[in-house]
Amino acid sequence: MTSFKHKKLRILQKNNADSHHHPQEKILQLEKFEKHIYGEILEVFAGAGNLTKYYEKLGKVTALKKEVTGDSFEFIYKLRADQKKYDVIDIDGYGYPSKFFPIVFEMLKSEGLLIFTFPVIGVQNLNGITEQHFINFWGSARPTIGDVTGKVTDYGLREWQLVSLLSCTKIKKIWRFIFQVKKEKATLFCNVRNR
């Protein structure tokens, strides 16, 4: 991407242009699962209210505004330290939610939704650092929907949570995943009984 195109993209993002945040497409996907959206909702990388307003109709929202995204990891680690739990966590980290895994599973209540965006691989030219990043978190230099789903399932199992993919929607250059997460007893996963 040229410097000019990059500056133009940043201006559109800063001005919250729908063509770069896709609120209508995201809300359309969420409406299919409204019965699962309630209670405490954590919205990481929140915009200027596009999705926040939608979520506020359905539950109590904790949102980190996009103006302070440099502190997103510090913010979520503080919430984690406070042992705050949520029914819904939406990570809209410009398509790169990796560093929020696996800790977001510690922050979900016994049953809830995990929602995040992920880049459509093949649209961008990936450099070596990005490819290695994908290998480290997702097990592949060019992760597929199956790779992402498999790894999210693995991350959930670390916290004894069963993860089910409810929806994966392509919105221009991103995939938007919605997973149902449900806490299970470790004895069920391991097929053992406590003595």
pLDDT for 153 equals 95
Residue 32 lies in a domain: yes
pLDDT for 24 equals 83
Residue 75 lies in a domain: yes
Please give the model's pTM, rounded to 2 decimal places: 0.83
Residue 106 lies in a domain: yes
Residue 129 lies in a domain: no
Residue 76 lies in a domain: yes
Q: What is the domain extent for residue 110?
A: 21-121+148-190
Residue 141 lies in a domain: no
What CATH code is carried by the domain that includes residue 34? 3.40.50.150
Residue 78 lies in a domain: yes
Cβ pair 72, 121 in contact under 8 A: no
H helices present in the chain, as ranges: 3-14, 18-21, 23-31, 50-56, 72-81, 103-107, 128-138, 145-157, 186-190
- What's the average model confidence in pLDDT over 81-86? 90
DSSP state of 98: G
Residue 138 lies in a domain: no
How, if at all, do strands 108-119 and 86-91 pair?
parallel
Q: What 3-state DSSP class applies to 111?
A: strand
pLDDT in tens, 89-113: 998 866 678 888 888 999 999 999 9
What domain count does the chain have?
Answer: 1
